[in-house]
Amino acid sequence: MSDGNQPPANLKVVGTRPIRPDGVDKVTGRAQFGADFHLPGMLTGRIKRSPHAHARIVKIDVSAAEKLPGVKAIVTGAEFDVGAGGDIEAGEHAAAMKDVADNCLANGKVFYKGHAVAAVAATSPEIAAEAVDLIEVAYEVLPHVVDVDAAMAPGAPVLHEDMFTKGVMPKPAKASNVAQKHVMGRGDVAGAFAAADVVVEGRYTTAAVHQGYIEPHACVAAWGADGQSTIWCSSQGQFLVRAMTARILNLPLSDIKVIPAEIGGGFGGKTTVYLEPVALALSRKCGRPVKLVMSREEVFLASGPTSGSSMDIRLAATKDGKLTAAEMTLRYQAGAFAGSPVNLGCMTAFACYDVEHLALVGYDVVSNRPKVAAYRAPGAPMAAFAVECAIDDLARKLNIDPIDLRIRNAVKDGAKTVYGATVRHSAFVETLEAVKAHPHYKAKLGPGQARGVAAGFWFNIGGESSAAVHVDEDGGATVVSSNPDIGGSRASMAMMAAETLGLPIERVRCTVADTTSIGFSGSTGGSRVTFATGMAVVEAAQKVVADLKRRAAQTWECDVAHVDWKDGVATCLDPSKDVKPLSLKALAGKSARTGGPIAAEVSLNAQGAAAGYGVHVCDLEIDPETGRTTILRYTAAQDVGRAIHPAYVEGQLQGGAAQGVGWALNEEYVYNAKGLLDNASFLDYRMPVASDLPMIDTILVEAKPNPRHPYGAKGVGEVPIVPSLAAVANAVSAIVGRRMTSLPLSPAKVLAATRAS
């Protein structure tokens, strides 16, 4: 593991922009996604879902459906056996397996419209659909609650009779919808507020939004007569799917093989299971492969959005703009089961700023919505929305440039975060300065236009990863990765291997292995793959180089210490030897005579991930007649350590910003008075499309490569969604003439605020 050293200079592959290896397959339709897989004798699965927001299941009668010709299996939650339950690390937190199982197929109660109740496998989609209609479920409808504040109010319908708020002493005597209270802070907050020159405050809300991946959840499961099963699916982690499915069906891990399909977007939403245990339970019951594919409506109804939130914030500062204290209360929707990312919201809220006195309280609140799933920097964008809007208010109140105010308060290396880590290798100040120096920030605005600025933070993580490097007999190499490629990891893995081996990138290919073909890995999430799996790839490539040097020394009959490796060629440094250099190709061609195949596999638990910081600038205008907001210009800057493949990194920044713009302006789950979701389609759930956005400019700040990674990489995928909500909201507020505190800033809401101003 690299530790304490600056990454090497004079890189030949890292930092270049080779053509993406999966590009041709994806644009020609050859790529195999979850729904593309077929097996002989395969059945079609369908899910029976709840029509109610909250109800007790009195009876499930499948007798009529079972009699329908072509129906081969029907399962309910009774098929699941999670035993003692327990947690599995997933997405934004450890997933409670009993809750995951109950979310896949309800057990006694349904908690939201679309909650799965039963599943059918049949010989055709039409028969499966008819059988679903024939399943009769008797419900006792219960009062519902969907709003986070309403769910916390006294007298709210309680979803789980056994939920007693954790983090409160003494343990509450009554069950409630507050799963957990998080408290963190430091210093003398009350004293600092009493001494403050200026105080700003506000109450902010954000709507629940979906990750919006293009590819719906899909899988094929095949139970073998010998009990050995195979699952083909689209996910962010084949090992996670295996672990969760095995736990829910009480099977040994070794009896399940999960083969990762190409993935059409995840953004955190594919770090859990919805279909795989159901499909395997159906297949186990009838002995035939079963395919389950969600419709778009099902994706919206029953797969995780991220939390909606309500937040209260107060900031205290001196008259020259030094933040002295902050207090914040965050209330996040968890959906039907506990586990919102509110603790991460608390931890990240003030991570960009050096504030001496802090008090944060977070509430994890269940309500009659689908269980939330991770979404890009889970928990951070909502908190940053409130914090960065409040900072903007402070800048206006003190008449200080918003970038200057942030520079004045920015964390620097050595500062202590509220969650306990010391800031290291941070380039937040450099990122702010890069934005200030950028032509965008200096450009004049036209009449009726405004500019918003905001910053954001994400931890980035390391964790368990495995990778292998195999040298081919003709001198090329294959990298075997343990992580599904969502954001370009096949390219970055191949590039780091090529750099280490001294090969041109065209001679290195990367493949993603199934659960039986490579060591364990955590999921593709947390902005960890380039860092952690990349570290495993580099270490495997270094082992290969060491082996190649040993074979060269053996060939030359010299000490291995006298063998130099550069640009894929071994050179003998022993002056007593009159030998020609040996290329990797030459050594690979004779591998059988020097010890056999040349390959190495490394499994590790990567530590030392470095956090990332982003700063966004957004120019926009608002149609005074309709309230429609048009983004005119957008620049996203980020502290990226070192960009392994800059074009992919730029794509991450652009994608995160685009999703944040949607979150800020249009996206929301709309519920009716019965607690039923009314907009479960892309027609009614408005995500930004290409014509809604300008080309998003990017600034990659490479001032502080991470010395704990061989090539200086920091995670980059999550930071860029964090600042965007407030960057947009700050610009909208400037035009409207009042602080806009509730997302989304839909045309109707903006128009009403404009008229009220």
Partner 1 sequence: MARVVSISSRFRDLTGGLDGLDVDARSVRELVRMLEARFPGLGALVEGEMALAIDGEIHQDALMEPLGPHSEVVLIPRISGG
Interface with partner 1 (CB under 8 A): 87, 89-94, 166-169, 180-184, 211, 267-269, 271, 343-344, 347, 374-378, 416, 418-422, 424, 458-464, 525-528, 605, 607-609, 715, 718
Query: Between residues 52 and 714, which has the closer beta carbon with respect to partner 1?
Result: 714
User: To the nearest whole angstrom, how small is the minimum distance from the Cβ of residue 308 to partner 1?
Assistant: 16
User: To the nearest whole angstrom, how small is the minimum distance from the Cβ of residue 19 to partner 1?
Assistant: 27
User: To the nearest whole angstrom, how small is the minimum distance from the Cβ of residue 658 to partner 1?
Assistant: 15
Is the separation of the CB atoms in 315 and 389 below 8 Å? Answer: no
Query: Between residues 570 and 609, which has the closer beta carbon with respect to partner 1?
Result: 609
User: To the nearest whole angstrom, how small is the minimum distance from the Cβ of residue 723 to partner 1?
Assistant: 16
User: To the nearest whole angstrom, how small is the minimum distance from the Cβ of residue 421 to partner 1?
Assistant: 4
Query: Between residues 51 and 265, which has the closer beta carbon with respect to partner 1?
Result: 265
Query: Between residues 353 and 565, which has the closer beta carbon with respect to partner 1?
Result: 353
Cα separation of 288 and 166, whole Å? 44
Consecutive H or E run containing 373? none
Cα separation of 716 and 460, whole Å? 8
User: To the nearest whole angstrom, how small is the minimum distance from the Cβ of residue 420 to partner 1?
Assistant: 3
Look up residue 671 and give its DSSP letter.
Answer: B
Q: Which residues of 623-648 are buried (b: 16+ CB within 10 A; e: fewer)?
A: eeeebebebbbbbbbbbbbbbbbbeb
Q: Which residues of 317-327 are buried (b: 16+ CB within 10 A; e: fewer)?
A: beeebebbbbb
Q: C-alpha dihedral over 31, 35, 40, 41, to 10 degrees?
A: 180
User: To the nearest whole angstrom, how small is the minimum distance from the Cβ of residue 609 to partner 1?
Assistant: 7
Is the separation of the CB atoms in 222 and 121 below 8 Å? Answer: no
Query: Between residues 245 and 271, which has the closer beta carbon with respect to partner 1?
Result: 271
Query: Between residues 347 and 387, which has the closer beta carbon with respect to partner 1?
Result: 347
Q: C-alpha dihedral over 172, 174, 177, 179, to 10 degrees?
A: 30
Query: Between residues 376 and 616, which has the closer beta carbon with respect to partner 1?
Result: 376
Query: Between residues 277 and 304, which has the closer beta carbon with respect to partner 1?
Result: 304
β-partners of residue 512 are 481
Place of tokens 């998003």: 696
User: To the nearest whole angstrom, how small is the minimum distance from the Cβ of residue 375 to partner 1?
Assistant: 5
Cα separation of 687 and 658, whole Å? 9
Is the separation of the CB atoms in 746 and 666 below 8 Å? Answer: yes
Query: Between residues 375 and 428, which has the closer beta carbon with respect to partner 1?
Result: 375
Cα separation of 664 and 659, whole Å? 9
Helix pair 380-398, 646-665: axis angle to 10 deg: 80
Taking the mean position of all CA atoms in its chain, how far away is CA 145? 27
Query: Between residues 364 and 621, which has the closer beta carbon with respect to partner 1?
Result: 364
CB-count exposure of residue 66 (10 Å: 0-12, 13-18, 19+)? middle
User: To the nearest whole angstrom, how small is the minimum distance from the Cβ of residue 419 to partner 1?
Assistant: 5
**Residue 649: how many CA atoms within 13 Å on its side-chain side?**
27
Amino acid at residue number 243: A
User: To the nearest whole angstrom, how small is the minimum distance from the Cβ of residue 91 to partner 1?
Assistant: 6
Query: Between residues 605 and 681, which has the closer beta carbon with respect to partner 1?
Result: 605
User: To the nearest whole angstrom, how small is the minimum distance from the Cβ of residue 485 to partner 1?
Assistant: 16
β-partners of residue 491 are none
Neighbours of 748 (CB within 10 A): 10
